[in-house]
A = this chain, B = another copy of it.
Amino acid sequence: MTTDIAIAQRAKMLRIGQVAQRFDIDEEYMEPYGYYKAKISLEFLETLKDRPNGKLILVTAINPTPAGEGKTTTTIGLGDALNRIGKKSMICLREPSMGPVFGMKGGAAGGGYAQVVPMEDINLHFTGDISAVSLANNLLAALIDNHIHHGNELGIDARRIVWKRVVDMNDRALRDVTVGLGGPGNGFPRSDGFDIAVASEVMAIFCLATGLEDLKDRLGRIVIGYTRDLRPVLASDLKAHGAMAALLKDAIKPNMVQTLENNPAFIHGGPFANIATGTNSVIATSAALKLSDYVVTEAGFGADLGAEKFVDIVCRKSGFKPDCAVVVATVRALKYHGGVELPDLNQENLSALEKGIANLERHVNNIRNHYGLPCIVAINHFTLDTDAEIKLLQDKMATQGAPVVVSRHWAEGGKGGEELAHAVINMVETTPSNFKFVYEENDSLWNKMTAIATKLYGARDIMADSRVRAQIRKLEDDGYGSYPICVAKTQYSFSTDPALRGAPTGHSVAIRDVQLAAGAEFIVMVCGDAIMTMPGLPRVPSSNMIDVDSEGRIVGLF
């Protein structure tokens, strides 16, 4: 089998200026980063303001399984296919974090013949955006301890600092640390921890900001911790936000690259999909909507998590209104949801498939009824899928109002995604979106979470201990009650139990912890197990295989 990197390195890339030309972006507004990457100037985006928006297609998925679904490849393949059949289309993706690249998951630039290139650059610190986010995050952290060291005029309670440092690396040894040791010259010792950079609130803000001024305002509103009498201390109290924004002034410009078929792709912003929104930047999607007739973007994890956040956080703030959702599933993953274990997924199993389809059905139902979006199911085709399995899937879903299309973009690129593209166009042209939110801004925080859990997850109710209930009340008292909820729970199940596959009902969703993201303007509700914001490396990390030859060619990156 040809590896992704081998396919990517054989790509006939165009100079990025040529790619952009087809979309009438003048070379003057492109800030090149090498020959095949460019940032688009904010000044140019400003000139697009009065143009009408193109159609917005949201790619989402069933609950992820170890079998893999291929949401990113579907996004890329659909974009390529739309361009092939004459629709001016752009795709919008997240920037890969390096933690997974060196850890287990590998790269995140698509796969097979549905990739964005140069894949090595995209996977290996790209245009430096995540580094800029890390630096802005860590500048604020340094300013906090520095302020305390020099007298602590603001009265920050060192036990109540919530701002962590970050690195873009899977480094479990940094999860829980003590800093400030070694004597008076090194500040005051305190408990601290590091997150992976993409879990930083700076990244969440970066992806929701509509421009530099909004970015700076949001950075200033970050709550870094509390005083002894529980008053919040803001980044603006430390005069940190101006310098943080200065560090992000280039990063905030969307990055353009190309697909293997030379169609433009914005890859910009990469927030963690659990404690943040898990979608690319609002600035990039806004730009794409002005520049093309169809924009294909993806949300993180399954439609219960990523798509819900796209709807209730991103769209609410940005004014985006998706025109259609594409739910990605595979026959293999549905069999897994039906109870088949990984080693047996290659065998036809119609009864397990039928059972597993319940997961897909609930997502389709949520998207159509609770998000109000027309919906298409994209079956990302694997060689071993049998005709009987495909037929069963199509028959079962026929009653759900969502056409099922088998897509072969992984093996065939845009050509393999043409049927999906036609289905999308047909849906958008015939079925108007009735886009709506899952809850209203004015609902209480408790009721917002209840709406998500009962409407989408099939839960009976939500619950929380008195400490968490008090936290929620304090947030409302402090004036944060109108913020949307950002759910942090396992992506593997509609419930909070990762082992519960399919479409569980009647379960209870326990809120374990509540966190304020005042700059990003949402409330994180951690449900079920604690959410890991600093992954670890496996026994044999991918970095062992990654290398560069004397010509500068990267090898061993998957």
Contact = CB atoms under 8 A, between A and B. Distances in A.
Interface of A: 31-35, 39, 42-43, 98, 102, 120-121, 124-125, 127-128, 131-132, 134-135, 138-139, 141-143, 145-146, 149-151, 165, 167-183, 185-187, 192, 211-213, 216, 239-240, 242-243, 245-247, 249-250, 536-537, 539, 541, 543-552, 554, 556-557
A246 B124 contact: yes
A187 B180 CA distance: 21
A220 to B, nearest CB: 11
Given A131-B135, A176-B182, A242-B547, A34 B31 contact: yes
Of all A-B residue pairs in the complex, the 6 with the closest CB atoms, nearest first, are: A176-B182, A242-B547, A131-B131, A128-B128, A243-B543, A145-B173
Contact of A146 (B33, B121, B172): B172
A142 B125 contact: no
B150 A539 contact: yes
B31 A35 contact: yes
A276 to B, nearest CB: 21
A168 B31 contact: no
Contact of A177 (B43, B175, B179): B179
A421 to B, nearest CB: 34
Nearest to A144: B173
B169 A552 contact: no
Given A178-B177, A552-B249, A169 B139 contact: yes
A182 B173 CA distance: 9
B543 A139 contact: yes
11 contacts: A120-B246, A135-B168, A138-B169, A146-B173, A146-B541, A149-B173, A150-B539, A177-B181, A239-B544, A246-B546, A249-B552
Given A31-B35, A135-B98, A243-B102, A186 B173 contact: yes
Given A102-B243, A125-B128, A541-B143, A548 B174 contact: no
A32 B541 CA distance: 33
B135 A548 contact: no
Contact of A135 (B121, B169, B545): B169
A456 to B, nearest CB: 31
Given A42-B552, A239-B544, A537-B146, A138 B171 contact: yes
A296 to B, nearest CB: 28
Contact of A169 (B31, B142, B183, B539): B142
A504 to B, nearest CB: 27
Contact of A546 (B131, B242, B548): B242
A181 B182 contact: no
